[in-house]
Structure 1
Amino acid sequence: MPIAVGLDIGSEAVRAAAVNTGSATPVLRRFAEMPLPPGAVVAGEIADEGAVVEALSALWKRHRLPRKGVVIGIANQRVIVRQVDVPHLEEDELAEALPYQVQDAIPIPVAEALLDYVPMEEFTTPDGDLMLSILVVAAHREMVEGLVRVARRADLQVASVDLQAFGLVRAAFGADLTKDSEGIQGLLDIGATLTQIALTKFGITRFVRIIPTGGSQFTEALMAGASMSREDAEERKRSIGVVPSGTPGGDDEQASLSRILTRTADSLIEEIRGSVNYYLTQAGEHSLQRLIVCGNGARLPHLANRIARALGTRVEPVRVLDNVSVGRVGMTEPQLLDLQPVLPAAVGLALWGSYVVRPRNRFAHLAKDRS
């Protein structure tokens, strides 16, 4: 049975999901995580390779995960995603011509970047030229090579490096990804230090933005605004949350702390709303049909309520376990349900190339190790 392992290297932990992708419905065989020391990964980039190698080695040894078929996700400010219109070419020809076709559209010298693309639509210009709209992924070569190097040092065989947002979409939408829907659907992942937005239509991801703000900013706001330790701020953040939209705040200490969190939330929500509105305007779309939220940062009480009111759309929590079968993972159902907000990245990366992706949708695979 083909088993793929999705690897999510986050700011606070490394997470891995082993998924059997050979059956009609993917089967989650194992999910495990290992905490990282502070500063080992900063805003999605590895700062301490030794610490990450140690965590990966311990994770694989403790949970006996497969060492082959590992798909690593990338998500940081050194990854650029742009829609570009190019002349219609055969796939091999376009792959060869890609650096020349997109060099003016990305802020990275093509010699220093690894490039891939997702084809979207064909169209014809007024002059009769056949064109193709593509979503280009450009990643700094040294950053990707660093990820692969760390995996190899932990004795892992890398099958692919994938844009993490693509994996999030696969896991969050599951078979719905292949259903024809005329509306735009969104995925919002709020991690520890990054927030990712992905918008899809007809099963194809059409827009991705990575915002350098996450759950840790809420913690730091409480630390600065209420003179709290990090531990106390984390605890109060999870218990208090933001002010529900349309609800007047009180005057007690809890209300004061909630207002601090709400100011941080509203700043992030404005970034999210601006990104969504930008895409809708550029694409000539009228509204966002629904938004699925995930990530540890999305656990913040009442945050989904404020996002829904600000964007004027339906907001739903991610339900990865509706899209995969669950094998003998060694966890109880309540444990798995509690982990659902952080499952999508690793599970979706393991689904790279699986049934939930339309055949014409070639997801990014920016570096390979077939040894």
Structure 2
Amino acid sequence: MATLVGLDIGTDGVRAVETTTTARSITVRKAHAIPLDPGVFTGGKVSDPAGLTAALRLLWKYGKFSTKKANLVVGSHPSVVVRGAAIAYLPKKDDRNVFVAETARHTMPVNSETLYLDHHVANVYTSPQVEGPDHTMADIALAGVDRESLDGILNCTIQAGLAPHSVDVTTFALARLVTASTSSSHSIDVLVHIGATTVTVTGILANQFAYQSAMNHFCGQDLTADIAEHFGVPVPEAEQLKVSFTQNQAERFDPFALDPQTIIAQWTTALVREIQSAITEMTQGIGHPVGRIWISGGGSGLPNLAARVSASQPAQVKVTVLDATTWVSNPQRLVSAHVQGQDLTAALAASVQ
């Protein structure tokens, strides 16, 4: 058994989960979350190193984790970019990196020299040639993390007294967790992650990445900004309105209080439409049907989101909220952090990589 701490550093909070894993189960030993003040991150980069360092120290102080070694997961837009690409396939990852670097120059929307690059193989296939031997190719999910952003995060992590063991991006960490319960080798599992600054749609077929799309204009921070503009309130108050409505949707609201229901409902309608469009493009491109849709991230709790995504799909497609508490043998350790509005699923995924 291995004991690891998964550390999710997001723009709105830092979350950590310590687990012990076996072949059959995941046991949560400790878990905690600390919200971040607005302004700690700007444009996906650390703008308040002292604030992030202090939050990480508090996270370990109150979380009482048994080790300072942590597997980091990051996913803030625009500092993290994931794109699909095709490269010549070589069995060893280090050998493929030459092709990955060259492909990134043409694929990434920013200068690839400013990024730390990583990739995961989605599919290996033979490309027939008119002359000469056939080529072995690979479809890959290519991830780039802004060097300045990641260096800033790592510096704060080290200043907080922690020891970064590995770094992954949110999409990859969550997709690995999903592969433990994939539908089948003939249907696609779709992971829709709705974070504070990112919204990604990832297709997984036969435990491999097969599709990646981003729709970051539907991220949580943009919804908060819409609420703030509509009611003329500060962003922190708008965020509290959004979180309160999402967590207490079944309760009767004060009729004299600001009610973001209409804005959130319209936002959800547009988001479901975008998700459906991405899934249609995915199934047409891959040539396989969807088996299950997983929804993760802080935005997964939007009222009726899962039900509306389900209604947009064929009856046989299952839609599930990727709730970290359903994946472990003792979910009560995760509940308190979820009550604070902090989603620990990515931290859990990082702890079992």
So what's the TM-score if we normalise by structure 1? Answer: 0.78
Equivalent residue letter for 2:86? D
1:271 CA displacement: 3.0
Q: Which residue number in structure 1 is paired with residue 151 of structure 2?
A: 145
Distance 1:5 1:138 in 2: 23
Residue in structure 1 matching 2:286, options 280, 283, 287: 283
Find the counterpart in structure 1 of residue 252 from structure 2.
none
How far apart are the structure 1 equivalents of 2:227 and 2:313? Answer: 26
Structure 2 partner of 1:3: 3
- 137-146 or 25-34, which deviates more: 137-146
The residue type equivalent to 2:267 in the other structure is: T
Match of 1:320 in 2: 324
Structure 1 equivalent of residue 89 of structure 2 = 88
Check if 1:107 corresponds to 2:109: yes
SS of 2:345's partner is helix
Tell me, yes or no, if the aligned pair for 1:238 and 1:301 is still in contact at 8 Å.
Answer: no
Cα 1:41–1:271 change in 2 (3 A) is farther
1:164 aligns with 2:170: yes
2:185 to 144, 165, 181: 181
- Which residue of the partner structure matches residue 12 of structure 1? 12
Query: How much does 1:34 deviate?
Result: 0.9
Distance 1:58 1:87 in 2: 46
1:205-227, CA deviations, whole angstroms, 9 ceiling, x for partnerless residues? 32333424333443443333345
What residue in structure 2 maps to residue 346 of structure 1? 347
Instruction: Report the 3-state secondary structure (helix = DSSP H, G, I; strand = E; otherwise coil) of the residue aligned with 2:107.
Output: coil
Is the counterpart of residue 59 in structure 1 residue 59 in structure 2? yes
From the superposition, tell whether residues 106 and 191 of structure 1 become closer, same or farther in structure 2 (CA, over 3 Å). closer
- 1: CA distance, partners of 2:244 / 2:104: 47
Deviation at 1:203, TM superposition (A): 1.2
> Percent identity at matched positions?
24
Q: Alignment partner of 1:307: what SS? A: helix
Contact residue 39 and residue 47 of structure 1 kept, 8 A: yes
SS of the equivalent of 2:106 reads: coil
Using a 3 Å threshold, how does the CA distance of structure 1 residues 340 and 281 change in structure 2: closer, same or farther?
A: farther
In 2, Cα distance between equivalents of 1:166 and 1:265: 25
Task: From the superposition, tell whether residues 97 and 66 of structure 1 become closer, same or farther in structure 2 (CA, over 3 Å).
Answer: farther
1:175 alignment partner AA: A
Report the counterpart of residue 131 of structure 1 in structure 2: 137
Give the superposition deviation at 1:231: 6.9
**Partner Cα separation in structure 2 for residue 93 and residue 174 of structure 1:** 26
Q: CA deviation at 1:258?
A: 3.0
Q: Structure 1 counterpart of 2:30, which letter?
A: R
- Determine the C-alpha separation between the residues in 2 that align with 1:257 and 1:152: 40
SS in 2 for 1:39: coil
TM-fit CA distance, 1:162? 0.2
Q: Quickly say closer, same or farther: Cα 1:66–1:207, change in 2 above 3 A.
A: farther
1:202 corresponds to which residue?
206
The equivalent of 1:307 in structure 2 is 309
Q: What secondary structure does 2:95 align onto?
A: helix
Cα pair 1:221 1:261 within 8 Å, conserved: no
What aligned pairs does 1:66-81 form with structure 2 within 5 A after superposition? 66-75=66-75, 76-81=77-82
Q: Contact (CA 8 Å) 1:321, 1:340: kept in 2 or not?
A: no
Superposed CA RMSD in Å reads 3.2
The amino acid that maps onto 2:286 is A
- Cross-structure match for 1:32: 32
Cα distance change, pair 257–196 in 1 and its aligned pair in 2 (3 A):
same
Cα gap change, 1:125 to 1:219, in 2 (>3 Å) = closer
Residue number in structure 2 paired with 1:117: 119
Structure 1 residues 195 and 144: CA distance shift in structure 2, 3 A: same
TM-score of the superposed pair, with normalisation by structure 2: 0.82
Report the CA distance shift for 1:145/1:230 in structure 2 as closer, same or farther (over 3 A): closer
* Residue ranges of structure 1 left out of the alignment (5+ in a row): 245-251, 353-371
Partner of 2:124, secondary structure, is strand
4+ long deviations beyond 6 Å:
252-256
1:143-178 per-position Cα deviation (integer Å, ceiling 9, x unaligned): 22222111111111111110111222334x36214x
Task: Tell me: CA distance 1:197–1:47, structure 2 relative to 1, closer, same or farther (3 Å).
Answer: farther
In the alignment, what sits opposite 2:229? 224
Partner of 1:367: none
Where structure 2 has 5 or more consecutive residues not aligned to the other structure, the ranges are 250-254
Matched AA of 1:344? T
Cα 1:182/1:341, change in 2 over 3 Å? farther
CA contact (8 A) 1:319 1:340 kept: no
Asked which structure has the greater RCO (Cα within 8 Å, sep 6+), the reply is: 1
8 Å CA contact retained: 1:4, 1:68: no
1:247 — aligned with what? none
Cα distance in 1 for partners of 2:64, 2:352 equals 20
> 1:236: Cα distance to partner?
5.4
